[in-house]
Amino acid sequence: MSEPTTLDPVAAPLPDPERPPAERVRRRGGDAWYELRRRPLFWCSVVILLLAAVMAAVPSLFARLGPNEQCDLLRAKQGPASGHPFGWDVQGCDYWSQVVHGARPSLVVGTAVTVFALAVSVVLGTLAGYLGGVVDAVVSRLTDIFFGLPFVLGATVILVAFPGHGIWAITLVLVALGWTTMTRIMRSQVIAVREADFVLAARALGAGPLRLMARHILPNAFAPVFVVAMLNVGNVIAGEATLDYLGVGLQYPTVSWGLQLNMAQDFYADHPHLLVFPALFLSVTVLSFLLLGDAVRDALDPRLR
């Protein structure tokens, strides 16, 4: 019996001598993880965000005082001292403890807005891209309307009209203004995938619309939207801090980085620590989300490797 050759349909393909065996068998997800773990910026971002998440979930691990606890107006606006590395704020509260407790509102709002907006975008974008026709026209025109509302200005107008709002009211407003970009990306990805050969084959075998969208189209169209969602977390956190800074977001006695910046704006010339520390925590967190999103985008897109 002759030995099989590469032209024999039952013969196994010859291994590529230039690549190790473990690398040859990686799938797309494995390839992405392989690329991610080789990037130092990815690990720096992950470590910083894990610390921020633990700080938001269990602030007592980092701060010995609770929010607005043991405040002394006699120490208001004093700079760093022994046992108080960040000094005191305008209310005479330990500023380190206040900055630690300010992580929770920002991360909760940023994560919740992104998750809810992503869910809305996946549903509307998939339906519009797959069904087309009237559904696509309605979703597209609705998206155009919300695109016409500036993010910060629209949120400011809405929040001023409804005072007494909390974290979840701000989350709802930001979701209403933040789903449009991801919906358009999801729609365009579904349109590109719906006529692919594997989708046509599944339809020919009797797969219904729901099965086609859930099992075949969505997994192959979701990656770009997921990357945008990761980038969006940092943008939402910055937007929430901006609303707090403008005085239309969260209100005292809630503690957040944006509110601390708002309180520091009249005193930063003489007491710069009031502005520097919350601004530093906010900037590093937002930058970490952006770097993480960039790393994931580069790993998922083979053209950028």
State the Cα–Cα distance between residues 152 and 239, nearest whole angstrom.
Answer: 7
Which domains, ranges and CATH numbers included, belong to the chain?
A: 92-304 (1.10.3720.10)
- 2 or 254, which is more confident? 254
pTM of the model: 0.83
> Bigger pLDDT: 30 or 128?
128
Cis-peptide into 80, omega within 30 deg: no
Q: Which two tokens stand for residue 266?
A: 């009249």
pLDDT in tens, 172-204: 999 999 999 999 999 999 999 988 888 889 888
pLDDT (mean) for 74-85: 88
Residues 234-264 have pLDDT tens digits of 999 999 999 999 888 888 888 999 999 999 9
Neighbouring CB atoms inside 10 A of 200's CB total 13
Helices (H), ranges, 162-303: 167-178, 180-193, 197-204, 209-211, 218-246, 257-264, 273-300
